[in-house]
Amino acid sequence: MTSRRAFTLVEVLVATSVLTLMVLMITALLDSASLTVLASGHHLAADDQAREVFDRMQVDFARMLKRNDVYFSFTKDPVAGNYNDQLTFNTETPGYFPNGTSSANESNSSLVSYQIPVSTQLPSTAPGQAMANNLCRLCQGNLWTNISFTPTVTPTYTISNAHLLSNSIFRMETAFLYRTSNTQLQITATPPSPGSGFQNLEAIIVALGILDSDSQKIVPASSYPTLVNALADYTGSQTIVLNPGSPPSTTPVPATIDPIISTWKTEINTSTFATTAGIPAAAARQVRVYQRIIYLQ
């Protein structure tokens, strides 16, 4: 008779253990790859949202009525608990009219406002609250009789009539670039005052903070004031000397203008940012910040 030798119990256990270990290692690799792909997708989505918003702003700013006798407001939102900036101005962009406005009186002028409202500024019913803590854009059509040539008179509008521009942008901060001489520019947090200063304003520097919609699901609404405040307001001042050579430089190198984004990057890269912002660490790791210089001249 032929002798047949089977696997011993020890050999079966060893083989099973090795197979289990290999499966666990492969699963861990797949999980890691999945998380990397997901994070990369969120990053690319944030890049796209920032680019689209900056491009929309650039179009509106290019059409802005840059007159010292026309209303504009570049300020902190006056509502308590809202630390975001708001940009409100008149443009040559056609806009929507309130119900009941006669189309025969339409003009090609609109009041445009970029704001990140808080819940108290919006209706308690949908879709109002869906706009809270997200970047909104109002484009309200003007009748020519609506445009006041007294710059201190605030037009009648409500941000609840705006539309949601981005459901990921929770933070907006601005700085202002002035030309103080032929060879010198000044960056400051001080906006031009209605009635003066517009002619020297070269550019508005806009910085955005973005948190993807998946990460927002684990951030309670009550945490947004702390999160917004964790990305500091710009309060500094910076002088830029242009090249006086021949021909003289008329615009600065963008890399030399960094009033907001460097501070924000330092803040989000600290080990304590999640605690400071009052949000889960998983969400804090997904915060992205962007900045663009939007020239007006």
- pLDDT value of position 288: 93
- pLDDT value of position 37: 62
- pLDDT value of position 27: 82
Per-residue pLDDT of the chain (297 residues; tens, 9 = 90+): 556 677 777 878 888 888 888 888 888 877 776 666 666 666 667 888 899 999 999 999 999 888 878 888 898 877 767 789 999 998 888 777 765 555 555 667 888 999 999 888 887 776 677 888 999 999 888 776 667 677 777 888 888 888 899 989 999 999 999 988 888 888 999 888 876 767 788 899 999 999 988 888 899 988 999 999 999 999 888 888 776 655 555 555 555 677 899 999 999 999 999 999 999 999 999 999 999 999 986
Residue 250's CB is within 10 A of a number of other CB atoms, namely 12
Q: Which residue has the tokens 């400071």?
A: 276
In contact, 137 and 165? CB cutoff 8 Å? yes
How is the chain classified by DSSP, letter by letter?
Answer: -----PPPHHHHHHHHHHHHHHHHHHHHHHHHHHHHHHHHHHHHHHHHHHHHHHHHHHHHHHTB---TTS-EEEEE--STT---EEEEEEES---B--TT--GGG--S-EEEEEE---GGGS-SSTTGGGGTTSEEEEEEEPPGGG--SSTTSPPP--GGGSEEEESSEEEEEEEEEEEEETTEEEEESPPPPTTSSGGGEEEEEEEEEE--HHHHTTS-GGGHHHHHHHSPPP--EEEEEPP-SSSPP-S--GGG--SSHHHHHHHHTSTTHHHHHTS-HHHHTT-EEEEEEEE--
Rg of the chain on CA atoms, in Å: 26
Cα distances (angstroms) measured from residue 278 to each of 139, 221, 282: 34, 11, 12
Residue type, 194: P
CA distance 140 to 173: 23
CA distance 199 to 221: 40
